Every structure is written in C-alpha cells, then in structure tokens.
Structure 1
Amino acid sequence: MADEEAQVLRESKKWAWADRVAHSNWKVRSSAYDDIRAACTAVYEETDPCLTEFVADSNAAAQDKALDALNTFLFKANEQLVSKYVDKVVANIVGKALNGRTGTVQRATEALLCYIELEQSSAVVDGLLAGLKNKVPKIVVASIDVLVQAISLFGVKVIIPQPVIKATPAVADSKDGKAREKAKELVVELSRWVGPEVIRSALFKDMRDAMKEEIDRGMQEVAALGRPKPERFTRKEQARQAALRAQQEASGAPADAGGAAADSGGAAAAAVEEVQAEVDPYEFAEPRDVLKDLKKEWWENLEAKKWSDRKSSLTQLKELDVDYGDVNRELRKVITKDSNVACVAEAIACTGAMAQGLRAAFSATAKNLVEVLLEKYKEKNAAVGKAVSEALAAMHKHCWGLLDVAENLTAALGHSNPKVKEETLVWLTSEIGAEAKPALNKLAPLLLAPAAKCAEEATPSLREAALRFMVTFATKFGNFVVLDKFTTKMDDGRKKRLEEMRAEAAGPAAGGPGAGARPSAAAAALAASRSKPGTAATAKVPLAAAAGTGKVAAGTSAVGAKKGAAGKEPGNGYICSGSSTLAAQAAAMRLTGAQ
C-alpha cells in the first residue's frame, strides 16, 4: 500500500497543477502545495537568479524566451514585488538585451515600459542613462530610443525630464551618427512636453549650429500637433481611471451619442485626461550668487536726482533680484513716493520678479504690497497699470491666494476712484480661474457683494467689468445660483446683460488641441524638417533666451499655476542669470533666502 502511494506521489509530479490540487489523495494535494510554495519562493526570492540573470542569457533564442517570461511575470506582478529586483534586471536588460536582435530589443523595450507602468520609472531612467555611456554604439542608440518611447507614452509627469535633459548633450555630440540622430529625436520629443524654450536655454548653448537648426524645425513641426497627452498609464493611474468609470456607471450616467462614455468613461475620462501641468522652467534654472553684484553704486543710484539713474538701478535689481528687508523698503518707497512713472513701473516690476524668484519665501512681503499695488491702479499711465497687473499675477501664482488678501481686494472694489475698481475687477476676472472650489465658497460673499455694487455705478466700463467678473466667478464656481443673492436689486437692463454674458459663457467650448502624436512624432518632425533645408527656424521667441544665458520658457504666464516653494538652499540668496524682462524672471530666477 505504501509502495503504491509512493508511486502515485511520484507520478503526480508530472500532472498539471489543476489535477494535483483536485486529487482525492490528500498527500498528492499536499505535495502540490509544497511544490507551488517552492516555485513561488524561487521566483520571489531576491537572491534567486531567476529574475535577475536569465534576461542576460548568452543564447539569443533562450534570451528571447527569458524576456517573454519576464514580461508575463511583470503583467501579473505588483509594485512592491518588482521594486526588489528592478535595478539588477534593468542593468542586465540594458547591458545585454538591448545589444541583441531586433526582436530581442523589442521584447526588452516592452519589459522596461512594463517596469515604468509598475511605478519604477526612476530605476528605468537611471539604467537607460547608464546605457548612454556604454561603449557599444548599438546599446546607446537603443537606450535613447527607449527613452523617446517612454516619454512619448507616459509623459513627463511619470518620466522626470531633468536628468534626461542633463544627459542629452553628451549623446548629441557623439561620434556615432546613429546616436546623434536619435539624440535629435529625443530632444524634439522632450520639447513637446517641456516646451521649446526650455530646450533652447538648456541645450542650445553648446550645440552645433546645424543641429540647432534641424532641431528647431523639428520642434516647430511637433508644436503644430498640439499639446501631447499620455497614451499609457501606470498601474495606480489605471486603477484610478477604473474607479472613476465604475463611479460613473454606478451613478447611471448614460453614454453620449458618440459613445464617449463607453469608450473613455465619459465624464470620468474627462477627469482622467488631466491637462499636463505646465512645466516650470524654474526647475531647470542653475543658481548663482548675486549678493556680490549689488555694489555701493547701486544704493547711491537709487537716490540719484536723475530719474534715468534711478530707473537703471531698478532695472539691475530686476535682473538680479535679492530678498532683503532693505531692498523691499526701498522698492516700497519708490512705488509710493517717486514722481517719475517709469521708475514706479520698474519698481513694481521688481516686486513681481522677486515673487517669481523667491516664491513662498516672498509671501509675507507680497501680502503687504497688495494694498500699495492696488492703489497704483489709479495712475493714468498704462505702463504702471500693466506692471501692477503682472506683479499681482506673479504674487498670486507663487505667494498667496485671493482669500489671503481678500480684505485688500474688497477695499479696492470700494475705492473712491472708479479706475481702481475697474482695473481690480479686470484683474480678478483673469485670476479667479486659478482658485480652488473651497476658496470660492469663502470668496463669494467677500467679492460678489462689492462687485454687484460696482455693477450699479454710472461708469459704463466699470459696470461691464463688474458683470463680467460675476459671470466668470459663477462659471468657475460651477453654479450661477451663487449670483442670485447679489442680483436681487439689479434693474432689468443689467439683469438682461448678465444673462447675455451667462449665455456667452455657457456656449460651446472651443475645440482643444489635437491628441498627442504617436511615439514617432519627433522622428517624423525631424524627417519633415530635413526635407525643408531652406527653411530657417522662424518661430518668435517671446522671452530673451536666444543668447543662451537664461532659463526661459515661451509663453510663461503669471496666471494659474500652483504656487512654488522657495529654493533648496535657504539663506544663500541665490538666483540664476536670465533676461531683464519680468516674464523672463519667472523662468530665469532661482532665488533662495529668508526674508
């Protein structure tokens, strides 16, 4: 009997798992469980070569099978498990598999993308950047190609672009022609996500003119495709999207006629397809010490009798910028007491530059300047008004929220000068979109009540600005009922105008930019650019980055981005070199220092 049982146990080792675990003999089932445990231990054991070494098999056919097995494993694995082995596996894939046959490289690429999907983008990027230094040209080219695909599929929210940008100049100057061509493709792909001005300021300085022109044309080609969107998502993001779709289905929301709900989850998909956050060129800026740049002459010129000397000193500050109490006090004095409007406008621009460079560290000073700046809206000079709007926008973006300065805003809306009220309303209309819904709930009574009073004023442009702000506020709020409490005393004419503006705001939205291009977009753009050898890069550069000295982003706006934090080395007063314009300061400055 014992011999028969032993024979059955030996034979059962050859059976399928399903047959073994369903066998009537408990010893057969027990043996199956032991073997399953042993197999799982071998796969999940960190020291086992099963995962880390088999992708480096010396036989090409066996290596392909190993990569197939790895991809199957990654499809089922979770983040916690793969994080234990990712560094060793990626190193072997980059060092061995990317040097293989075409099919092998494709399998290896998919494995690396699977690791990114499993939240291991940092390890994968590190491994690929190491591949850029490999002595084998084929590995360098393949590593660049995987980076291009990863950025194109996942976007810069998953693939952090800074280390890639820093590693790009070396391969762009490679002796291998294929590596240089792939490097161009990588640069163009990066420009789709971080903007061409970041690329120009970070990479063009030491690049050959011929390569600059070709990349410039390629960047213009991909810019025409519209803003890119990720085409592949991490597992966490996939789970979030699935939860949103399930929530929508549970709420019983029907699919639209075009099948949008069935295809992309309807409203849930709209929430999932978040607009990629604007890449802040501030993150790419190199810090430099500017304390030594404020010489004795600077302080003397600030008190000079000639307005041009005073303005020159202020312009220098705007280009350098520091965060010290003495400078802030001098700026405030110029803004409030200087009789020359050019000096006043320049001093106001300096405060905006400080807000963009210091960010959270400038918060307290920025709040104290709001009252002074709003008061300057009474000036008839257009340059002063523009400087005030830009400086306030920079502070709102980086230093405070509207709720923090609501008292000053309410006071400005009740100012005796109609121009102050009108300009404040116009500025609020442009900025209210950056506020979160919780803040709007508290801002409604504080801003809508005085705005409704402004709508009753005799000045037509002031009335129009007030109504426009109210409609914009309600649109952002998501419900026009919020206006009911403040419009009960309005006459029929104003209510009619309010309804007209409301209808305009509720009209069909303009179509957004086209979907992101396929992974080959950068390559296609470069190919197209090569077919136009006589076409020079003619795109206008709004900010003065052409000299390659500043970290500048095209279209840098002072409106509607998340507030940044102060620099990383507190107390050193560091900034980076850049353009003299206020807009360029947002990109160029990287100030740190306590007030």
Structure 2
Amino acid sequence: MADGEQDFSSLPLQDRFAHKNWKVRKEGYEDAKAQFEKTPDESDPVFAPFLQDPSLWKGAVADSNVAAQIEGLGAYCSFLKFGGVQACARTRGYTVGPIAEKGLPCARPAGKASAQEALLLCVELDKADPVLEELLPTLSHKVPKVVAGALAALTAIYHNYGCKIVDPKPTLKVLPKVFGHADKNVRAEAQNLTVELYRWLREAIKPLFWADLKPVQQGDLEKLFEGVKQEPPAKQERYTRAQQDAMATASAAPGGGDGADEEAGEEFVEEEAEVDVFDLAEPIDVFPKIPKDLHDQLASSKWKDRKEALDALYNVINVPRIKDGPYDEIMRALAKCMKDANVAVVAVAANCVDVLARGMRNGFVKYRSVIMVPMLERLKEKKQTVADALGQALDGVFSSTDLSDCLEDILEYLKHKNPQVKQETLKFLIRCLRSTRVVPAKPEIKSIADAGTKLLTESTEVVRSGGAEVLGTLMKILGERAMNPYLDGLDEIRKTKIKEYFETAEVKAKERPKPIAPPPKAAAPAARKTVPGKKPAMGLKKPAPAAPPAEGHPAKPATRGIPSKLGGISKPGSGLAPPGAGLKLQRKLGGPGGLASPQRRAAPPPAEDDAPPPAAPKFGLGRGLAGRPIAKPSAPEAAPAPAPAPAGMTAAERAKMEELRMEKERFARIIEDMKSDRSKINSQITELQNQNAQLIEDHTRDVLSIKAKETQLVRARSDAEAAEANVQKQQREIERLKRELSRALRASALSPTTAGSDAGSMGMPDVNPTYQEPASNGHDAAARSGLHMGSRFESSRPRSYASANHSEDGENGGLESPGFSSREGGLGRRKLSPTYGLSGIASPTRSSARASATATDDEAQPRSAEPAENWKRAAEVTSQLKARIEQMKARQGLSRPTGTQR
C-alpha cells in the first residue's frame, strides 16, 4: 500500500480529485488546501487547473465519502479565500447547488460549517445574487433536512452581510411556502430566518408575506419580534471584498488614522439604515380599481356618502407601492376635501394623501403643489385626531419630495395669523429637518435661521421653544461653527436653550461642515512657508531674482493653489491644491499621485466656500485675475514645491484638471439656471392650477345657483297659477251669491205688503211688536219676549241670510206648530193665544220687511227693473202663506166672523 500511496501522491491534483478511491481524493483535497495557503498571490500557477476546469470542485464539495467531503469543502474555502474574485466567479455555478444539497445537510458540524463558510465567501468575493439564485430552489427540495440546511445558510448570509448587500425580496416571496412545510425543523428554521430579516427590515417585511401566514404563526412571530425590538439596530458584521479594499485604501493613505477610520465608517452609514418597504414591493396599478362614482359621491350633500367614498378609495390605494398614473382629478378632489366641514371626511382624505404620497414617492412630486397648501391651511383644526392625520399626511408628502420643494410654503405658513396653524407648521418643519438626508443650501439655511430667530420673539411659549428647536436641529446638521453667524445678537438664555436642543437632536443629513475642525494641521505651516517663495512666479511683470527656476514654471498652480484658513484646502473651482494640501485628496484617490476626480473635488463643504478673503494679503497675492498668466502652462522643469506637493501629476494632467474644473463650474452655473427656471415654472404651474381650481369651483357654484333660481321660478309659476284659479273660483262664488241675494231680496220685498193687505181684508188687526200685554198672562208675555228677541236677532243677521231663512221657513212649514223653534230666527218657544193669535206671525214679517226695505235702500236697486218671474214667485209665496194661516186658524179654533175683535 505504501508504494501505491507514493504513486498516488505523484499524480496531478486534478487527477487525484477525480480518483475513484476516496482516500486518494481526501489526500488530494488536503494537498490542494496546503498549496493554496502557500501561494503569494492570486496569479499563482496552482490555481490555473481549477480555473480551467471548475467542474473539479463539483465532486469535491459533494463527495460521497463524508470524511473526504469535509476535506473537499475545506479545500474549496481555501481556494476561494486565496484565489480571489476570479476563483469565485468561475466556480460558483458548479458548487453552490451541490453544497446546498450535500454540504449543508452534512451530519458532522465541521462539514456544515465549511459549507456555510464557502457560501459566505462566494458572497464576500463578488455579490450575493448568483448565490441566492442557486440556493432558493433548494427550498422546494423533497428532503426536509436539505430545506432546513438551506434556510440556516440564508440566515447566516443575512446575519453577516445584511439586507443592503443581499436582496431580501426573493427570500420573502418564498417564506410563506416554507412556513407551511410538514417538518417542524423546517418551520423552526423558517422562523429563525424571518426573525433575522426582521432585525434588518422591521415592519417592512409584513406587507410582503404576512397575510399568507396562519394566525397562530403570526402570533408566534410577534412574540419573537418583541425581543428583537429591544435590540439595537442591526449592523453589518462581515464586509465584501470591495468594501474591504476601500477601507484598506483609506487606512493606508498618508495622514490616515482617526480621520481615515472616520471616513471609512461613513461609507457604511447607509448600510445601517432601516430598509424601506417601498424598495421591496412591486408597483401595483390601482387606478382601474378606483370606484367610478368617486367624484359623484364626493359631491354629495351628505357627509356619510363623502366619507364612504373616501374609505373605499383608501382601501384601494393602501398598498406598499403604487404604479404611477393620472391621479390629477383625484388629487384635486382630495384638496377640496380639506375644506370639508366634517372633520371625519378631512381625516380620511388626509390618510388617502398619506398612502398616495408614500406609495408613489417620486411620482407624487407633481401633485405636491396641489395638496400641500390646502393641508397647511386646514391645520387650524383644533381636534387632535384631525391634526395628527394632517401631520402624518404632510410627512408623507415630504418623504416623496425634498426640503427645497416644501420650504417656501412652510416658511409662508410660519407667518400665519392663526396660532394653531403656526404651531403645527413649526412642528412639521422640525420633522423635515430631522428626516432630510440632504443638507440645505446656503439661501435655505439663511431663510430657516431667520424664521427660527423671529420665532424666538413670539408671545407664545410653545412657538418660542419650537423656534429654538429649529435652530438647534439646524445646528446639528451644519455644526456649531457654521451656525455662529446666525446666532449673533441672541442673549445667552436663548443660546443655551438652542444648544440644549442641539445636543438632543437626531438628524439623518451628513454633517458636511465637519472638516471645519480638522485634526492638528502639521502640513499647513510648511505650505504657508513655501507659498511666499512662489510669489514672484505669480506675476510675469515682476521677475524674482530669488527663485529664477520658477519663472519657467507656470504661475497657474501657484495662483490656483491659495491655501485657505480652513486647513490649506483650495476653494472649489480654483485650480490645484497648494503644496501641503493634497494629503486628503491623495487619500480619496487611493494613493499618491492619482488624478483628482471632479466628483471628488465637489465634496468640500459649503463652509469652505466661504473661506475669508483676508488670507490674500498675507501672501502678497495680486488683486483679482491680474496675477494669472495668459499662456497655457508647459511641463515643469523642476518641482517648485517640497515633497507634500502632488509631484506625480504632469502638466497635461494639470491642464486636463483645469479644464474639468472649468467645465464643472460651467455645469454648476447651468444647473443653477435650470433650477431657477424650474422654480419659476413650478410657481407658474402652481398659480395656474390654483386659478383653474378656483374657476372650476366658481363654475360649479354658478351652476348650482342657476339651478336653484330655476327651481324657485317653477315654484312661483305654479303658485301663481294656483292663485289665479282660486281667484276665478272665488269670483264665480261671489257672482252666485249675488244672484242668490237678489232673488232673496225680491222675494222678501213682496211678502210683507201682501201679507198685510191680506190680513186687512180678513179683518185681522195689525199687531204692534211693542204692544204691552198684561202681566197676568205669563204665556203671552213669554211669547212676546220670545218674539222681540227673535226680531232683534232677525234684524242683526245679514239681509240675504234673513231673507233666505224666511223663505225657507215658509216653504218648509216652520210656522205650523205653536212651539216651533226657528233654525235661524231665534224666536224660541211661543204660544198663540186666542186673542193675539197673529202676533207670532206679524212680527217676523214686519222685521223682515224692515230688513228688506233697509237692504233695498242700501242697495239702491230700482223695483221696476225686476223681472216678471219674481212677481210670480212672490204671489205663490203669498198664496201659500194665506193657506197656512187659514189652516192654523182651523186647528186652533180661532176662526170667527170677519170683523169680530176682542
């Protein structure tokens, strides 16, 4: 066997990797690992066979023998570690799948650890996407331990690199499927992976898969999340090769140390930020799902209909990410809802604006001017729930735009006369300063500082505290030194309060003015000593005998290299840095002598742009541009500066750099012009949109007014027609009553005369109504009193009514009974005595005659004009009256000879 082993060891590594004897393969893996560890760099020839035939590693990481497999995984890890990016890119397509199927489920802990380490190295050397593409299909494997091993590997990858390096979306999509696995170990690993993702994403993971879980699983995860919430934010524990190179370059640069470490740490600030759900979700087109009758419902006069319409809209648009669409009409309707009288409608409308702004992000920028001003105006609402909803909606609008877009409206409403609007706008500005990731420009800083200083003099304590908090938060963004000019003139009490807010403020914007207070300046004095030596070279009119070689050197580097008071760094756009000021530039370029990138040169903070000009007289520089040479610089014959100068840069490179800087300045001016044009156009668009909305509102109001007037006109016409018909009816009734009155008067005018003449012819006495009867005759007295009362009542009634009643009594035979009670005459009960039997008849007749005569006199109607038929009727009435009188006499036994009287 010893001879056989000697023969096997002499074989090439690739032959031993493919040998049928597991011991030979195991020894080959061990030898390969040892050789990889001894290589000086990635270009060593030992890597060549494995790069040319990457399939050799497929059998090594999935060896059928467990002992050989462990050694094969170890050899592959060494190959990746020392072979570099190329080793990973060439082999991962052959190895990730077998590692997931055979390496991760390995029964031995050493094998499982080597398999996970191999996957982590693949992510570290290049990127994580190819590893996920090979690893995620393993989650559908039919063997439970393979699925559990893949989930554990994913947990390790996310734990070490975080969700900024490894995209969590593909993993979140398959999580619900593994939660429904039958094996408890798989479900446990799925829980571990979900908790690890929650460490990075927090609540952002829920909208993507939470609804697909069972309530029991949701409850278990919530309990696990509670423990994670108490932990500090997750940080990346393992860096990729690109990140490691950047950190190594920063630390190895001249002047490194604490400052370099600080800059290297800034490179990974974004990795620690919480991942937003917007970046994980896919855009959803919600526009077709919006109710068609939304605008009709919002125009309803009932607040419940308006609120129900907004609730339906909210349910449709409440998604993590909204696809851009034509939402102009909806935004105008929501802006109109901000003026609604019902606070519930306003709150729901604000919630709709919030989800639209957070779901559309950059697509919402064009609607900001339509909705922001109405919301700021509605901040006058004192109900806290409405104020909170409006504040949240304003935060959503700000998250989709930036501070520059919103600042003008915010500063305008900070001057509002309503204290409630001023306070809520102030709170909104503070939230904007805390959440903005871009440092405001100098004009914006001045506007904010002036507004905050003015608020310090307000009468309300809440507003004064808010102004101090604004200035303190702004100081946190800019730095104490940059804020000093804006705090001049304030008393110590106010400054103390502002510094208290400065110490407690939390902002997301980078502190660009940080280089204002750099570490000890060792190179600055040396640079200042060398600059005066170059003074004669700055102007060609004054040759300097002290430094003749400098005359051939172009004066532009010296002129452009004016050291500033802020640490020897030249102003942006002013040419090359002076001697002694290039250390930081070299550190950023990755080494000495590298070219300066225009993007990197744009990094100096705004405070450096304001470097005080008095530095110029110290070095004897010329005024303005007089000291600059006209000719282009030529190649320098000798280095005019000591060692700290960037000696590796040639004249062509310097000229190219100058051209780039001039081009950058020109681009900056163009950008500023474009920004000003854009702001003007935006203001014009906003004004036109406001005018359009006002015209639409006026038109709607006019249409409603016209409709109301038309309704009133129709009602007035119908009332007029009804009144006209009523008048005609009343006129017909009056005519009829006049005719009836005329007939009654004519009939009553004939009856007393005829009755009197007939009574005289019959020998009956003419009864006087005032005749006094003896007191002994009680019945007759009662009859007379009743007769007089009836006469008075008869005379007090209307003429037509009295006449009509008499004629009716005559026709109906009302005088037949001695105890007859007249319906209208009021004669009461009466008896006809034998002596005065006709008194009960004569009196009403005479009274009727008098009433008729009076009516006749009043009416002044001529008797001669009466028609003949009235006479006939009067004659008939008279004859009937005679007959009835005769009948009454016969029944009472009062018939006696004519002319006999008592």
Partner of 2:78: 72
Partner of 2:413: 412
Q: For the structure 1 residues 180 and 253, does the alpha-carbon distance in structure 2 shift closer, same or farther, using more than 3 Å as the test?
A: closer
Matches within 5 A, 1:331-480: 331-336=334-339, 338-398=340-400, 400-477=401-478, 479-480=479-480
Matches within 5 A, 1:141-220: 141-195=148-202, 197-198=203-204, 200-220=206-226
User: What's the CA shift string for 1:34-81, capped at 9, x where partnerless?
Assistant: xx9864432322x44334443233333333222222111111233344
Letter in 2 for 1:312: E
User: What's the CA shift string for 1:438-481, capped at 9, x where partnerless?
Assistant: 4354420122112222222333322221122111111122x233
Partner of 2:495: 498
What SS does the corresponding residue of 1:91 show, helix, strand or coil? Answer: helix
Alpha-carbon deviation of 1:108? 1.4
1-structure distance, mates of 2:494, 2:227 = 43
User: What's the CA shift string for 1:10-48, capped at 9, x where partnerless?
Assistant: x9x9xxxxxxxxxxxxxxxxxxxxxx9864432322x44
Are the equivalent residues in 2 in contact too, given 1:94–1:128 (CA < 8 A)? yes
2-structure distance, mates of 1:298, 1:507 = 46
1-structure distance, mates of 2:372, 2:218 = 43
Partner of 1:127: 134
Q: Percent identity?
A: 28
TM-score of the aligned structures, taking structure 1 as reference length: 0.69
User: What's the CA shift string for 1:396-453, capped at 9, x where partnerless?
Assistant: 112x111123322232233344443332222111220222454354420122112222
Partner of 1:239: 245
2-structure distance, mates of 1:231, 1:463 = 44
Are the equivalent residues in 2 in contact too, given 1:471–1:502 (CA < 8 A)? yes
Partner of 2:231: 225
User: What's the CA shift string for 1:83-104, capped at 9, x where partnerless?
Assistant: 2331222122223333444122
Alpha-carbon deviation of 1:302? 0.6
What SS does the corresponding residue of 1:160 show, helix, strand or coil? Answer: coil
2-structure distance, mates of 1:147, 1:238 = 22
2-structure distance, mates of 1:147, 1:274 = 22
Partner of 1:308: 304
Are the equivalent residues in 2 in contact too, given 1:83–1:120 (CA < 8 A)? no
Letter in 2 for 1:499: T
Q: For the structure 1 residues 298 and 224, does the alpha-carbon distance in structure 2 shift closer, same or farther, using more than 3 Å as the test?
A: same
Q: For the structure 1 residues 43 and 374, does the alpha-carbon distance in structure 2 shift closer, same or farther, using more than 3 Å as the test?
A: same
Are the equivalent residues in 2 in contact too, given 1:128–1:144 (CA < 8 A)? no
Letter in 1 for 2:481: V
2-structure distance, mates of 1:426, 1:312 = 31
Flag structure 1 segments of 5+ consecutive residues without an equivalent: 1-10, 14-35, 255-260, 510-595
Q: Which structure would you say has the larger RCO, counting Cα contacts within 8 Å and 6 or more residues apart?
A: 1
2-structure distance, mates of 1:334, 1:130 = 50
Q: For the structure 1 residues 181 and 454, does the alpha-carbon distance in structure 2 shift closer, same or farther, using more than 3 Å as the test?
A: closer
Task: Point out the more displaced range, 266-275 or 141-150.
Answer: 266-275
2-structure distance, mates of 1:508, 1:109 = 42
Figure out how many residues of one structure are paired with residues of the other and give that number.
458
User: What's the CA shift string for 1:283-303, capped at 9, x where partnerless?
Assistant: 455665544543344322211
TM-score of the aligned structures, taking structure 2 as reference length: 0.47
Alpha-carbon deviation of 1:320? 1.9
1-structure distance, mates of 2:263, 2:485 = 30
Matches within 5 A, 1:251-266: 251=256, 253=258, 265=261
2-structure distance, mates of 1:508, 1:162 = 33
- Which of 326, 330, 342 is the aligned partner of 1:327? 330
Q: For the structure 1 residues 241 and 384, does the alpha-carbon distance in structure 2 shift closer, same or farther, using more than 3 Å as the test?
A: same
User: What's the CA shift string for 1:313-371, capped at 9, x where partnerless?
Assistant: 222222223752221222222224x3333323332332222111222111111134333
Are the equivalent residues in 1 in contact too, given 2:475–2:483 (CA < 8 A)? yes
Are the equivalent residues in 2 in contact too, given 1:429–1:468 (CA < 8 A)? yes
Are the equivalent residues in 1 in contact too, given 2:77–2:117 (CA < 8 A)? yes
Q: For the structure 1 residues 49 and 219, does the alpha-carbon distance in structure 2 shift closer, same or farther, using more than 3 Å as the test?
A: same
2-structure distance, mates of 1:204, 1:110 = 31
Letter in 2 for 1:428: L
Partner of 1:19: none
2-structure distance, mates of 1:39, 1:246 = 30
Q: Is 2:290 the counterpart of 1:294?
A: yes
Letter in 2 for 1:349: N
Partner of 1:58: 64
2-structure distance, mates of 1:508, 1:471 = 7
Are the equivalent residues in 2 in contact too, given 1:302–1:313 (CA < 8 A)? yes
Are the equivalent residues in 2 in contact too, given 1:371–1:408 (CA < 8 A)? yes
2-structure distance, mates of 1:425, 1:81 = 57
What SS does the corresponding residue of 2:390 show, helix, strand or coil? Answer: helix
Partner of 1:84: 90
1-structure distance, mates of 2:235, 2:338 = 44
Alpha-carbon deviation of 1:200? 4.9
Q: Is 2:255 the counterpart of 1:250?
A: yes
Alpha-carbon deviation of 1:125? 1.9
Q: For the structure 1 residues 273 and 347, does the alpha-carbon distance in structure 2 shift closer, same or farther, using more than 3 Å as the test?
A: closer
2-structure distance, mates of 1:370, 1:508 = 26
2-structure distance, mates of 1:50, 1:460 = 76
Letter in 1 for 2:92: V
1-structure distance, mates of 2:326, 2:383 = 28
CA RMSD, 1 decimal: 3.1
Q: For the structure 1 residues 396 and 243, does the alpha-carbon distance in structure 2 shift closer, same or farther, using more than 3 Å as the test?
A: farther
Q: For the structure 1 residues 83 and 242, does the alpha-carbon distance in structure 2 shift closer, same or farther, using more than 3 Å as the test?
A: same
Q: For the structure 1 residues 489 and 413, does the alpha-carbon distance in structure 2 shift closer, same or farther, using more than 3 Å as the test?
A: farther
What SS does the corresponding residue of 1:456 show, helix, strand or coil? Answer: coil
2-structure distance, mates of 1:222, 1:294 = 38
Q: For the structure 1 residues 43 and 473, does the alpha-carbon distance in structure 2 shift closer, same or farther, using more than 3 Å as the test?
A: same
Alpha-carbon deviation of 1:270? 6.9
Alpha-carbon deviation of 1:305? 1.0
Alpha-carbon deviation of 1:273? 5.9
2-structure distance, mates of 1:440, 1:381 = 36
Matches within 5 A, 1:531-570: none
Alpha-carbon deviation of 1:508? 11
